[in-house]
């Protein structure tokens, strides 16, 4: 019989290791409950329903900021980029101005001012911390989802065996996890979702709950058939077949974080982004058009509600451009044999300076080049000078359009032009030359 004490009278090593486990934290991260329980959580903390941009921005701001003066300019240093989680292992120094631009883009995107419809592109010379910034954001989001402030939730279907929706050969057919980790409030039909949120008082003075989009094809399929089974009784579907649980973002588990890297174009296609048919399940479900026989395991799918990183994004084949444009501008992807599917994620790409210069002269990427030219014309003279001063050593953000509400309202003319000065016009000023 096992005892808690070894032969020499000391405590067993296994027990000493087990004593280090935080059971309270484990129970919190493994929380499960009903839809009614989740509504109570939303009523107390409506921030759990934030979109991906809002969550990433709040994560960065949550670490605090420091202000300092450099050459008579007030700069802000974001403590998040000190990498306090790992003792400064991936800390970034000397790039405060580019990082300020990045955070401004995230802030504007979180408030819906336009950058949420852009790919955030980090470009610069070798060794300018492009990959490090992406790694910090992914690592930070993993940790943030395990804190009370960064908690988020998703759902799974249950009790499916008696409904005929489980599949004949499924080992655990009674449970069907939501493949894209959708926000549970999407279970409320879009036609009366906003009215339900308002009448239940889920928003407060600090945060307004707003959930757009529809369920992914697999969940929509199950929801529709269960609704028909209960003759349209939405309450019975939710009470009998839905369980809400805590969602933990993890790159290793492919939950909330995706990474896509270019490979040989002969061995890579768009299914790596949007998923592919599971041919083994066709015999089980009877059709390749059944969403239950589809693997929603593309990088866009698994990164839903988080971040997807495109390594050397400008080296992608042109065929991937269409998926990328649809995902960024419309927040939708097109899985094979299914309708467009809503996604909610930050799309972050990085590339070296040589590839970025090719982008500006490539007609195949004209929508991206056009977007950048518009953003440049709206950028103030001071911002252009600041960007030029950090060109050799810093990481630049290509998506500079609408970096903040204040930037959006500025006149496209520079300071001297707006004051009517003729003697201080610069030969490099775009608005003066026009």
The per-residue pLDDT for 227 is 96
31 vs 174, residue with greater confidence: 31
3-state SS assignment for residue 91: coil
Is residue 426 in a domain? no
Is residue 34 in a domain? yes
E strands within 134-261? 152-157, 176-177, 242-247, 257-260
Is residue 194 in a domain? yes
Q: What is the largest CA-CA distance in the chain?
A: 94
pLDDT tier, 172 (very low <50, low <70, confident <90, very high otherwise): low
Smallest Cα–Cα separation from 188: which of 155, 166, 159? 155
> Using alpha carbons only, what angle is made at residue 216 by residues 241 and 52, rounded to the nearest 5 degrees?
105
pLDDT digits (tens, 9 = 90+) for 337-375: 899 999 999 999 999 888 888 877 776 555 454 334 333
Is residue 88 in a domain? no
Q: Which residues pair with 346 in a beta bridge?
A: 307
pLDDT surpasses 60 at 191: yes
186 vs 398, residue with greater confidence: 186
pLDDT surpasses 70 at 299: yes
pLDDT surpasses 80 at 407: no
Which DSSP category does 365 fall into? Answer: G
The per-residue pLDDT for 325 is 86
The per-residue pLDDT for 66 is 95
Residue 329: its H or E element: none
pLDDT tier, 203 (very low <50, low <70, confident <90, very high otherwise): very high
Smallest Cα–Cα separation from 120: which of 355, 335, 368? 368
Look-up of token digits 């520079």: 414
402 vs 7, residue with greater confidence: 7
Residue 177 to residue 218: CA distance in whole angstroms: 10
The per-residue pLDDT for 8 is 58
Q: Beta strands 346-352 and 307-311: pairing type?
A: parallel
Taking all residues of the chain, what is their mean pLDDT, rounded to a whole number? Answer: 83
pLDDT digits (tens, 9 = 90+) for 238-263: 999 999 999 999 999 999 999 998 88
Is residue 68 in a domain? no
374 vs 12, residue with greater confidence: 12
Residue 262 to residue 347: CA distance in whole angstroms: 15
Give me the number of domains the chain comprises.
Answer: 1
415 vs 394, residue with greater confidence: 415
pLDDT surpasses 80 at 153: yes
Is residue 108 in a domain? no
Count other C-beta atoms under 10 Å from residue 385's C-beta.
13
The per-residue pLDDT for 100 is 96
Cβ atoms of 371 and 399 closer than 8 Å: yes
158 vs 434, residue with greater confidence: 158
Percent of the chain clearing pLDDT 70 (strictly above): 79
Span 418-432, average pLDDT: 41
Is residue 181 in a domain? yes
Smallest Cα–Cα separation from 370: which of 308, 428, 325, 317? 325
Residue 122 to residue 100: CA distance in whole angstroms: 13
417 vs 422, residue with greater confidence: 417
Cβ atoms of 321 and 365 closer than 8 Å: yes
pLDDT surpasses 60 at 171: no
Is residue 370 in a domain? yes
pTM greater than 0.75? yes
Which DSSP category does 403 fall into? Answer: -
Query: Residue 239 sits in which domain range?
Result: 26-46+114-264+272-402
Alpha helices per DSSP H over 266-389? 271-274, 282-285, 299-302, 319-325, 353-360, 366-378, 381-389
């Amino acid at each position: 019989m096992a005892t808690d004490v070894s032969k020499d009278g000391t405590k067993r090593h296994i027990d000493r290791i087990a004593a280090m486990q935080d059971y309270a934290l484990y129970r919190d991260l493994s929380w499960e409950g009903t839809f009614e329980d989740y509504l109570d959580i939303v009523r107390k903390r409506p921030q759990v329903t934030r979109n991906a941009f809002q969550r990433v921005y709040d994560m960065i701001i949550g670490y605090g900021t420091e202000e300092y003066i450099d050459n008579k300019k007030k700069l802000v240093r974001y403590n998040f980029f000190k990498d306090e989680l790992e003792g400064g292992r991936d800390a970034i120094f000397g790039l405060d101005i580019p990082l300020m631009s990045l955070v401004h883009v995230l802030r504007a995107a979180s408030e819906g001012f336009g950058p949420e419809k852009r790919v955030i592109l980090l470009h610069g010379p070798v060794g300018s911390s492009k990959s490090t910034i992406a790694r910090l954001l992914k690592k930070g989001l993993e940790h943030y989802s395990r804190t009370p402030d960064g908690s988020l939730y998703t759902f799974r279907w249950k009790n499916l065996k008696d409904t005929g929706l489980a599949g004949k050969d499924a080992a655990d057919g009674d449970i069907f996890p939501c493949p894209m980790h959708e926000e549970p409030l999407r279970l409320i039909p879009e036609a009366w979702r906003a009215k339900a949120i308002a009448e239940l008082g889920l928003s407060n003075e600090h945060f307004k709950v707003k959930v757009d989009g529809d369920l992914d094809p697999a969940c929509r399929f199950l929801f529709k058939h269960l609704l028909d089974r209960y003759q349209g009784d939405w309450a019975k579907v939710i009470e009998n077949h839905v369980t809400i649980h805590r969602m933990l973002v993890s790159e290793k588990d492919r939950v909330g974080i995706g990474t896509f890297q270019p490979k040989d174009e002969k061995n890579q296609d768009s299914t790596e982004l949007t998923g592919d048919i599971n041919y083994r399940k066709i015999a089980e479900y009877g059709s390749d058009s059944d969403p239950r026989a589809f693997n929603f395991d593309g990088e866009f799918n698994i990164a839903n509600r988080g971040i997807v990183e495109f390594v050397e994004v400008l080296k992608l084949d042109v065929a991937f451009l269409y998926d990328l444009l649809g995902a960024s501008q419309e927040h939708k992807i097109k899985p094979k044999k299914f309708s467009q599917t809503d996604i909610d994620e930050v799309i972050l790409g990085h590339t070296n300076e040589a590839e970025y210069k090719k982008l500006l002269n490539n007609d195949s990427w004209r929508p991206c080049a056009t977007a950048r030219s518009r953003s440049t014309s709206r950028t103030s003279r001071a911002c252009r000078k600041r960007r030029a001063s950090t060109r050799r050593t810093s990481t630049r953000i290509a998506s500079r359009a609408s970096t903040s509400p204040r930037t959006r309202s500025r006149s496209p003319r520079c300071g001297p032009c707006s004051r009517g000065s003729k003697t201080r016009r610069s030969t490099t000023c775009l608005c003066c030359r026009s």
